[in-house]
Structure 1
């Protein structure tokens, strides 16, 4: 179980010991702006010819393949900030990305992808629970023990437990006092050879950030799972998201994530909500001939301006499937404005969006972009193709 999950998430074997980004539990969600911001007020490197042409699409940028990007300054590389998370826990953001993981098709469509056990009372479970969660008593009974065979349990790639709250070290007296049912389930599953993880902050922390992924319905069977909405991956919490064209055209997703700005990297998919969202349109092809020399800095600065503006907006970057073109643009932003090497940016992105897969042409151009930003090549192609 553990190996499959870490392979999906591209995590190292010492994942539980390494620092990961700790999710902030914020009970107030910003409402998406209903007043679109003109793209040209944000990205000022668009040529006057494009902006003033009567035939121009003021949200569309076709990169000039002859222009060479020159950064304003040489950046000093830094490492992604790591905040320690207690062993045995995952953050609400990690749980969100697990629920919305895609590998060919949405992982959640597979009934054996993840077993989520709600270790609260039956009343609280019936009020609301994380989508696809089961009441723990239906799997592990306080007196009868495990109600599902060990062989059946081993079919699950991930087993996630949660109580109402909680972030104390597993097995500590405070953890036992705060959530005895969860602790009992955790150690009983561990004794059976499973490797369960606990949701940091419990249901209350997850609900505060992602109420749209909580329900009163019991969703277990595969046909029921195919009715679920799969959301874009959260790359920077409550700030930057990456997904597909279909997700960018789903207003429920846009509304629930409070998206205000969109980077559209497709050639043919129109901007879905131009009257209420602001768009940067980059008509890119996912092939060996596509030049990103102008697209990378445009997207990077567009995203940074949105996230730095007060109040900050939220950006969705998308292409057709949310794997190659959108990944290249997201990586450019992480390198330029987080000062991360391509290697560290790619690791960060893959931990949050497992299906990340920029084509080789884009990877080579990102390596050149890294050298332009930092004054030297920090990453090799072999490092990022493994």
Structure 2
């Protein structure tokens, strides 16, 4: 039995916004999101792609027969406001029924729909059925690195006015090859580094200026997004550098944090070496062995 664990809202937000060529929500073995609230609450509004739980006449959860739970990486259930595994309620009941069918722990959303929809109202919907094409065409949001404060994404996300509005973004760190006039229209302050995604490129010289820029905006409760062309290499290196300085993370800790937020992040080898140098400068020693295959 895989068990059940509580799950933070920011982690669900990031799971919903993973993508490669298209949204990962189109993958049949990626995510099953179950809304355990009453049908009328679900119909009024629910988290995007969630299915409503069904119950028999005695109040027992009916396991869907069209889902291969054993092969699904993330099975997440929520009700209105569960906060503890010691509570009783539909989310707990649902999770206990599903434990036997999954290889992975069943994840119970902390705070349920009330908390998630308050933080991410733009990820709520009344839509119930999706075609594969519709799932593939879902436009992901930037991943959340520090809840409500720091985001990381790509150029298309940074130039999407709706995303800037939804995330209340007022400051951007641009390490893409482009600079759009849209940023001025959106009233965003932009720090732009013209640095190629090349192993020879010097990103290290940008770390201190980037850190100061982000600090100045976070101190005024303004959220910030770091982005590059594809949201994979340059922006992830800059984001790690920020975490290493401000949270005193080692390179390994920063790497693991960013990888949990965005699974396909990958700084190029030159940037990894520069991050190792930054680790030496920020904490006084090289703790992380970048010769390990993970890096």
Q: Is the shorter-chain TM-score for this pair beyond 0.5, marking a shared fold?
A: yes
Q: Show the counterpart of 2:262.
A: 353
Between Structure 1 and Structure 2, the one with more strand by share is 2
Greater Cα offset, 246-255 or 291-300: 291-300
Scaled by the length of structure 2, the TM-score of the pair is 0.91
Scaled by the length of structure 1, the TM-score of the pair is 0.71
User: Shift of the alpha carbon at 1:192?
Assistant: 2.8
Alignment partner of 1:251 out of 161, 166, 169: 161
Q: Is the Cα–Cα contact under 8 Å of residues 343 and 384 in structure 1 kept in the other structure? A: no
Secondary structure of 2:134's counterpart equals helix
Q: Is the Cα–Cα contact under 8 Å of residues 141 and 147 in structure 1 kept in the other structure? A: no
User: Shift of the alpha carbon at 1:297?
Assistant: 1.4
Q: Distance in 1 between matches of 2:293 and 2:15?
A: 22
Q: Distance in 1 between matches of 2:73 and 2:191?
A: 38
Q: Distance in 1 between matches of 2:275 and 2:202?
A: 11
Q: Show the counterpart of 1:156.
A: 72
User: Shift of the alpha carbon at 1:141?
Assistant: 9.4
Q: Show the counterpart of 1:190.
A: 99
Q: Distance in 2 between matches of 1:271 and 1:121?
A: 46
Q: Show the counterpart of 2:29.
A: 112
User: Shift of the alpha carbon at 1:204?
Assistant: 0.3
Counterparts of 1:101-180 in structure 2 under 5 Å?
101-137=18-54, 142=59, 145-148=62-65, 152-169=68-85, 172=86, 175-176=87-88, 179=89
Query: CA 1:258 to 1:193, structure 2 compared with 1: closer, same or farther past 3 Å?
Result: closer
User: Shift of the alpha carbon at 1:221?
Assistant: 2.5
Query: CA 1:144 to 1:379, structure 2 compared with 1: closer, same or farther past 3 Å?
Result: closer
Alignment partner of 2:183 out of 273, 286, 290: 273
1:17-46 per-residue CA deviation (whole Å, 9 max, x = no partner) reads xxxxxxxxxxxxxxxxxxxxxxxxxxxxxx
Q: Is the Cα–Cα contact under 8 Å of residues 271 and 279 in structure 1 kept in the other structure? A: no
User: Shift of the alpha carbon at 1:330?
Assistant: 0.8
The question of 1:318 aligning with 2:227 is answered yes
Q: Show the counterpart of 1:333.
A: 242
Q: Distance in 1 between matches of 2:95 and 2:271?
A: 43
Greater Cα offset, 287-296 or 258-267: 287-296
Q: Which has the larger radius of gyration?
A: 1
Q: Is the Cα–Cα contact under 8 Å of residues 233 and 243 in structure 1 kept in the other structure? A: yes
The question of 1:221 aligning with 2:131 is answered yes
Greater Cα offset, 136-145 or 188-197: 136-145
User: Shift of the alpha carbon at 1:168?
Assistant: 1.8
Q: Distance in 2 between matches of 1:148 and 1:89?
A: 25
Unaligned runs of 5+ residues in structure 1 are 3-15, 17-86
Tell me which stretches of 4 or more aligned residues in structure 1 moved more than 3 Å: 138-145
Secondary structure of 1:166's counterpart equals coil
Q: Distance in 2 between matches of 1:228 and 1:138?
A: 30
Q: Show the counterpart of 1:304.
A: 215
User: Shift of the alpha carbon at 1:368?
Assistant: 1.0
Q: Distance in 2 between matches of 1:141 and 1:228?
A: 38
Secondary structure of 1:273's counterpart equals helix
User: Shift of the alpha carbon at 1:109?
Assistant: 2.4
Q: Distance in 2 between matches of 1:114 and 1:260?
A: 32
Q: Is the Cα–Cα contact under 8 Å of residues 22 and 136 in structure 2 kept in the other structure? A: no
User: Shift of the alpha carbon at 1:323?
Assistant: 0.8
Q: Is the Cα–Cα contact under 8 Å of residues 42 and 52 in structure 2 kept in the other structure? A: yes
- Higher relative contact order, structure no. (Cα contacts within 8 Å, ≥ 6 residues apart): 1
Aligned pairs, number: 292
Q: Is the Cα–Cα contact under 8 Å of residues 139 and 147 in structure 1 kept in the other structure? A: no
1:229-268 per-residue CA deviation (whole Å, 9 max, x = no partner) reads 2100000010000000000011110000000100110123
Q: CA RMSD in A?
A: 2.3
Q: Distance in 2 between matches of 1:267 and 1:197?
A: 39
